[in-house]
Amino acid sequence: MRAKLELSDTVTLSSITDYKKFKKLLFIDVDSGPANQLANYGSVNADSITQELRLNGGSDRLKWVTGLFFMNIDNLSRNGLKAPVNGLVPGNPIDIASTARLKTTSLSAFGQVDYDLTDQLRLVAGGRIIREKKDYNLIQELYFSPD
């Protein structure tokens, strides 16, 4: 979603919002043999939201932009290997699984100034400061699977 507000003849306020939801489930016979010896499964469930507020303006020779940006991503994935009885470890049938969760939160502020020194020479200065936090949790598991 994008919204724009003309605050004056030379200054504009913009808001850009994005939301995504992504789900995926996958099951593949990875050994490609005539009998199913090993299969891989995977699932992903991810949500993300971003928000940017941007203020920009300028005159004939000067253009500037400044703003704030926020991002939040929550990702949960489950993956593993599924084997038939005696497939991975003879006499000890097991399946291997992992569950991972990654949460990311990012905040930033930015700005840029462009100044035309001449018709063919422009001075550009800008910067961005970012604060990002990531929380990660991984669980690795082995399951006994006798049948």
Q: What is the pLDDT of residues 121-147, one digit of tens each?
A: 999 999 999 999 999 999 998 877 766
Banded pLDDT at 90 (limits 50, 70, 90): low
Rounded CA-CA distance 90/95 in Å is 12
**More confident call, 112 vs 32:** 112
pLDDT at 117: 95
Contact call for residues 71 and 106 (beta carbons, < 8 A): yes
Instruction: Reply yes or no on whether the pLDDT at 57 is more than 90.
Output: yes
pTM for the full model? 0.78
Residue 8 has pLDDT above 80, yes or no: yes
Q: How far apart are CA 89 and CA 143, in angstroms?
A: 12
Cα 76 from chain centroid? 12
Q: Say which residues have a Cβ less than 8 Å from residue 33's Cβ, sequence separation at least 6.
A: none
Residues 66-89: what's their mean pLDDT? 85
